[in-house]
């Protein structure tokens, strides 16, 4: 969704609220693609604070389906975050690079809502997603989900072959 900012920029101190919503149905990043299953419309307020500077504010709620980090089961992950940004339209590309500030959501006098929210989702993604706190994960040998069933794999053979020397040392100490 694109919002034209020329009306807000016309008068210092002017503020305008927009009923905004996401048009994207999937969040894709280097970690993978996550389906957005619940996206609530939100109110975006754009305020002209003078000197071709804008203040953006909103509160966004949505839910993603993210696989569990241990067993790969789908987990509905709700995200809630507040957007509070100040945008200087006179800032040059070189200034943005020096400040490590990427404002790819502003193109001329247009504000791209999807790009704005994309960056905030990226920052607010959980570091670890678990289906439950005591998730047992999957067997690294046969791939069985250990939350649902037990497997009959022999874990002594599943050990990393590089660790065989250490395993032999432990066997020698057990005999003593």
Residue 111 near residue 3 (C-beta atoms within 8 A): yes
Q: Model's pTM, two decimal places?
A: 0.75
Burial label, 74 (beta-carbon count in 10 A; 0-12, 13-18, 19+): middle
Please compute, for residue 42, the number of CA atoms within 13 A of its CA located in the half-sphere on the CB side. 24
Residue 89 near residue 52 (C-beta atoms within 8 A): yes
Would the pLDDT of 1 be above 50? yes
User: Of 2 and 91, which is predicted with more confidence?
Assistant: 2
What is the C-alpha to C-alpha distance for residues 148 and 144, in angstroms, rounded to an integer?
8
What is the C-alpha to C-alpha distance for residues 168 and 137, in angstroms, rounded to an integer?
28
All structural domains of the chain with their residue ranges? 2-124, 136-176
Q: What local confidence, expressed as pLDDT, does residue 176 receive?
A: 46
Please compute, for residue 83, the number of CA atoms within 13 A of its CA located in the half-sphere on the CB side. 27
* Residues 144-173 pLDDT 10s: 898 998 888 766 555 677 877 887 887 777
């Amino acid at each position: 969704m694109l919002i034209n900012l020329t009306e807000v920029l016309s008068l210092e101190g002017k503020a305008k609220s927009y009923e905004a919503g996401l048009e994207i149905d999937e969040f894709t990043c280097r970690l993978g693609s996550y389906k957005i299953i619940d996206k609530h419309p939100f109110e975006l307020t754009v305020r002209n604070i003078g000197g071709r500077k804008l203040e953006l504010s909103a509160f966004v709620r949505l839910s993603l389906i993210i696989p569990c980090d241990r067993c790969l089961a789908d987990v509905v992950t709700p995200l809630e975050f507040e957007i509070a940004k100040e945008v200087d339209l006179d800032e040059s590309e070189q200034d943005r690079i020096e400040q490590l500030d990427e404002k790819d959501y502003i193109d001329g006098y247009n504000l791209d809502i999807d790009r704005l929210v994309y960056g905030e989702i990226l920052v607010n993604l959980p570091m670890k997603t678990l289906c439950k706190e005591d998730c047992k994960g999957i067997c690294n040998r046969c791939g069985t989900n250990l939350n649902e069933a037990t497997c009959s794999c022999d874990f002594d053979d599943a050990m990393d072959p590089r660790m065989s020397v250490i395993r032999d040392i432990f066997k020698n100490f057990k005999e003593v």
